Structure 1
Amino acid sequence: MADTLRFAFAGFRHAHVLDLYNAVKSKDCCQIVACCEEDAQTRAVLAEGGKIKVTHQSYDDMLGGVDFDVLALGDVYSKRGAMAIKALEAGKHVMADKPICIKLDEFDRISDLARRNKLCLGLQLDLRSYGVYHTMRKVIREGRIGEVLSVVFTGQHPLMPKVRPGWYFEDGRHGGTINDIAIHGTDLVPWLTGHEIVRPVAARVWNSHCALNRKFQDGAQLVLELDNKAGVMADVSYHSPDHLKGMPPQYWRVTIFGSAGLVETSLTQPDVMVVDKDSGEIQRLSPEPNVTWRYLNDFLACVGGSAGEGMVTTETVLAATKAALEAQRLADA
């Protein structure tokens, strides 16, 4: 990897990309050399904020006219696949807010280009940044609950139609709630358990209460199969109460049952609950420290050729993306 990795940002249509912008800005080894925003209203908001200088109004102009190493992608979901493909065809690495695309044919092209040209893909899969999940992973990998039998995770979000960007609710731009949210779980579960996702068994999406667009599927549930025949059940609906202050205990709660015990935690839980093979008592384990911007650290290691075990890599990004897209396709069928 070069001494300085040059990032060009394309699209600021989702707030998540601001976290990536701040993360890149904080790294001495990274330099932001260009920022593109094609949407006039978003450009006006950025100008008013005064923290991000938009250098280009055309993605193609930036791609063809700026010398950079990494495309940082945060445009509307439906535009990301084509933008990532163009960047990979131009020999650029891609670091994106999730999802990187909303169609399986886009995924196939992205996968082929990244592998064939030895380019790195990164996603803002930030659940791996939290110490509770690292402690959970250690418990499982040490065999304390035996063989993994089943997994349940809940990642319900508030819909907040007055807060979320308007394009979310426009036809064809979002791409589906499973692909949007469940990808965190399709990344987390294999990383925790050591078992890959084989296939989606069942999936359902539906409109339950979103009045802005009755085609918007705010309900989303799925069932997956792991390579050891274990099952995964998940609910990632936009059903959490909008008026709730703070996060509910169900927010990214993960419960894993093993042949000799169980382990559970969530983003709002201060510890990790374990019943292991050596004790019938509930134990509360203190979590490892959180690591801010772990997703970017892993991506930089990938670009530098030093990615280690347990990191987010191009292959884990592809696996998580494919699992989410296939479950979304099953739900849409």
Structure 2
Amino acid sequence: MRFAAIGLDHRHIFHMVGRLIEAGATCVGFDPATSDERVLAGFRERFPALAPCDREALLDDPTIDLIACAAIPRDRAAIAIRSMEAGKDVMLDKPGVTDFGQLAAVEAAVARTGRIFSICFSERFVVPATIVAGKLIADGAIGRVIQTVGLGPHRLNRAIRPGWFFDTATYGGILTDIASHQIDQFLHFTGSTEAQIVTSAVGHFGADDWPGFEDFGEILLRGDRAGGYIRCDWFTADGLPTWGDGRLTLLGTEGTIELRKYVDIAGRPGTDHVFLVDRSGTRHIDASREPLTYFRDLVADVGARSETAMRQSHVFTVCRLALEAQAQAVRLATRPERSAA
């Protein structure tokens, strides 16, 4: 499978390209256009053998099967549609779309072209712990999953963020963006194919220089099989040795699984900690060596025209729920009300 990278605006393009190469695909080039020269520099450092190429030349190359894209979020849907119309499958960074019009246009393009529209939900696909958790659930370790609690804290790193990062119209809002990870995991681990947003909220509690920037968000949702709570934020403190203490708790009828994906604070070193509680006791599982499957499955899907990496309907459901949560969200007060004197 041959692919190219278009949209070097977010650092997620590093693992998107790197993991595809590890899965056996060949990267034939990249479009060097970027809104952040630091991302381009980092890309060149990681992939010195790859050659820059004009975007249209990449899209017009009939030997290229797939486009990997981490462009400015607002621009991703248009790049995906152009790529699909050129006969290519696409793998986007999240969020794949930032409004309902884009979602409708992408769905129409998939129906029209028959191409694959995939989103690399890295908090599941690049985390070995989620694969181990999926195997435990499939084996019946905790019975039927009836609720998920997904936490997605992030470090802001304001000094390295481009201007578009703080513009809600450009990145789509915190629930459209970050919470799409947790919505994806809720649907996947509960086996739900549909869900409703019960309530959602966003807020800005940080520095006053970007008052419109959403640095906190939460969602309560209920599917056809289970319920879920999601919280995401930009308040990871500098003292944490990684970008965020991402956690997922899976409540089953016969036990629980907790994933501490990136760090076990003040505990075991490394990443991908899985904690299992069942009728026999408690257990810690080091999942860090579990092989990732999404990228190799996507490479296979491109050739076989299958949906083993992720169902197309699942992708669209995640996008729709994230957009609905964002559209329905109440705005939380940024400062506590003062009582009357």
TM-score, normalized by length of structure 2?
Answer: 0.82
Matched-pair contact (CA < 8 Å) for 1:84–1:94: yes
Question: CA separation of 1:170/1:148 partners in 2, compared to 1, >3 Å: closer, same or farther?
Answer: closer
Deviations 1:118-153 (A, max 9, x none): 211222223234332222222323333233222111
1:330 aligns to 2:320 (yes or no) = no
Instruction: Give the C-alpha shift of residue 325 in structure 1.
Output: 1.9
Match of 2:98 among 102, 115, 118: 102
1:10 — aligned with what?
A: 6
Matched-pair contact (CA < 8 Å) for 1:46–1:53: no
1:237 aligns to 2:233 (yes or no) = yes
Question: CA separation of 1:62/1:325 partners in 2, compared to 1, >3 Å: closer, same or farther?
Answer: farther
Match of 2:161 among 160, 164, 167: 164
Question: CA separation of 1:178/1:258 partners in 2, compared to 1, >3 Å: closer, same or farther?
Answer: same
Instruction: Give the C-alpha shift of residue 298 in structure 1.
Output: 2.3
2:218 — aligned with what?
A: 221
1:136 — aligned with what?
A: 133
Matched-pair contact (CA < 8 Å) for 1:141–1:193: no
1:299 — aligned with what?
A: 298
1:188 aligns to 2:185 (yes or no) = yes
2:254 — aligned with what?
A: 260
List aligned pairs for 1:60-209, cutoff 5 A. 61-62=56-57, 65-67=60-62, 68-126=64-122, 127-170=124-167, 172-209=169-206
Instruction: Give the C-alpha shift of residue 319 in structure 1.
Output: 2.4
Deviations 1:215-261 (A, max 9, x none): 11111111111112x2211111112114433356xx22111222232
Matched-pair contact (CA < 8 Å) for 2:8–2:40: no
1:54 — aligned with what?
A: 52
SS at match of 2:171: coil
Instruction: Give the C-alpha shift of residue 48 in structure 1.
Output: 7.8
Instruction: Give the C-alpha shift of residue 167 in structure 1.
Output: 2.0
Alignment: residue pair count: 319
Q: Which amino acid aligns with 2:156?
A: L
Instruction: Give the C-alpha shift of residue 23 in structure 1.
Output: 3.1
Instruction: Give the C-alpha shift of residue 78 in structure 1.
Output: 1.0
Deviations 1:178-214 (A, max 9, x none): 1211111122222222223411111111111044421
Q: Which amino acid aligns with 1:302?
A: D
Q: Which amino acid aligns with 2:73?
A: Y
Whole-Å separation in 2 of the counterparts to 1:252 and 1:244: 12
Matched-pair contact (CA < 8 Å) for 1:263–1:273: yes
Question: CA separation of 1:87/1:224 partners in 2, compared to 1, >3 Å: closer, same or farther?
Answer: same
Whole-Å separation in 1 of the counterparts to 2:30 and 2:69: 12
Whole-Å separation in 2 of the counterparts to 1:28 and 1:136: 26
Whole-Å separation in 2 of the counterparts to 1:180 and 1:158: 15
Question: CA separation of 1:169/1:53 partners in 2, compared to 1, >3 Å: closer, same or farther?
Answer: farther
Superposition CA RMSD, Å: 2.9
2:335 — aligned with what?
A: none
Whole-Å separation in 2 of the counterparts to 1:289 and 1:45: 30
SS at match of 2:158: coil
2:338 — aligned with what?
A: none
Whole-Å separation in 2 of the counterparts to 1:109 and 1:132: 34
TM-score, normalized by length of structure 1?
Answer: 0.84
SS at match of 1:172: helix
Whole-Å separation in 1 of the counterparts to 2:276 and 2:42: 46
Matched-pair contact (CA < 8 Å) for 2:92–2:118: yes
Whole-Å separation in 2 of the counterparts to 1:23 and 1:66: 22
Matched-pair contact (CA < 8 Å) for 1:120–1:299: no
Structure 1 unaligned regions, length at least 5: none
SS at match of 1:95: strand
Q: Which amino acid aligns with 1:275?
A: V
SS at match of 1:119: coil
SS at match of 1:235: strand
Q: Which amino acid aligns with 2:255?
A: G
Identity %: 24
